[in-house]
Amino acid sequence: MKTEGTRDESLENTELDINESKLHNSLREKTWDETITKDSWMVFKVMAEFVDGYEKMSRIGPCVSIFGSARLKPESKYYEMAVEIAEKITKIGFGVITGGGPGIMEAGNKGAFNAEGKSIGLNIDLPFEQHFNPYINKLYSLNFDYFFVRKVMFVKYSQGFIVMPGGFGTLDELTEAMTLIQTNKIGRFPIVLVGSEFWGGLLEWFKETLLKEGMISEGDLDLYRVVDSADEAVAHIKAFYDKYSVNVNF
């Protein structure tokens, strides 16, 4: 029986069994039939996700993606800030894209929904944490099996990125966007990191380790802006598009 404050041992054992099974399966030599029926046919599943995503997302219009932790609760200051950012982003003409789940994703969709804007959710099938939040427009609710397909949708259809505090998934999304901008694979869209205290350690590592070791360039430190309020975050996005005289209204 699980008691409050302790981990459910049955859940832990189940996770170990799943991990062990995946490990053994990855090392096992596959038969020709398995290769054809599983690995090769997976290509068509991936294609189907891309086609469905492209067809739905291409009609949405200018958007900003909001990344952040699924684990933050509504009482978190960052949750409240994400709601405010999304509301204000919507009012200047952008739709809001999130990962479609709880936490910061829910906050982003809630803000867009409250402001009667386009609220897009790109959900991922996971064994825990993830479920659709109730603030996504039904027309713009997509579900994915593959993280890499989902990330393509985030980046391809976003004209800016708001990055709230988050874990590994948020870091993955952040560095994906930064890498694509750094290598000129996408335009130099604005990236806004919200929470100087939260991001400070990582940004210091960028400067003191990556830059000093020559693994990034000085100019790469200009790929992002760090802010501590919703107004600052939205102002940076707006200033970027005002600079280029781009009208983003739907």
142-172 pLDDT, tens digit per residue, is 999 999 999 999 999 999 999 999 999 999 9
- As a whole number of angstroms, the distance between CA 96 and CA 162 comes to 10
Name the pLDDT band for 27 (thresholds 50, 70, 90).
low
The alpha carbons of the chain give a radius of gyration, in whole angstroms, of 20
Mean pLDDT of 211-217: 97
Terminal C-alpha separation, the chain: 53
Query: CA-based angle 45:51:52, to the nearest 5?
Result: 90
For residue 25 the two structure tokens come to 């399966």
pLDDT score at 57: 94
Instruction: Quote the pLDDT of residue 243.
Output: 74
Q: Give me the pLDDT at residue 39, please.
A: 74
Q: Put residue 61 in one of left, alpha, beta given phi > 0 → left and psi -120 to 50 → alpha.
A: left
Using DSSP, state whether 165 is helix, strand or coil: coil
Looking at residue 146, its pLDDT comes to 93
Q: Does the model's pTM come out above 0.85?
A: no
Mean pLDDT of the chain: 88
Rounded average pLDDT over 210-226: 97
Which phi and psi angles does 101 have, rounded to 5°? -100, -155
Three-state SS for 141? strand
Check if the beta carbon of residue 111 is closer than 8 Å to that of residue 104: no
- Residues 108-149 pLDDT 10s: 999 999 999 999 999 987 766 567 899 999 889 999 999 999
Of all residues in the chain, the percent with pLDDT exceeding 70 is 81
Residue 193 CA to residue 161 CA, distance in Å, equals 8
42 band by pLDDT with thresholds 50, 70 and 90: confident
- Classified as helix, coil or strand, 116 is coil
Q: Residue 170 corresponds to which tokens in the numbers above? A: 């948020």
Say yes or no to pLDDT of 193 above 70: yes
Q: Which two tokens stand for residue 108?
A: 């982003």
Mean pLDDT, range 55-72, rounded to an integer: 95
For 201, residues 6+ apart whose C-beta sits below 8 A from its C-beta are none
* Backbone φ and ψ of 28, nearest 5°: -80, 135
Nearest in space to 89 (alpha carbons), one of 60, 49, 117: 117
pLDDT-based confidence at 16, cuts 50/70/90?
A: low
Match 């709601």 to its residue by tokens. 83
From 70, 93, 92, select the one nearest 82 (Cα to Cα): 70
Concatenated DSSP letters of 30-69: PPHHHIIIIIIHHHHHHHHHHHHHHHHHTTT-SEEEEE--
Q: What is the DSSP letter of 111?
A: H
**pLDDT category, 74, cuts 50, 70, 90?**
very high
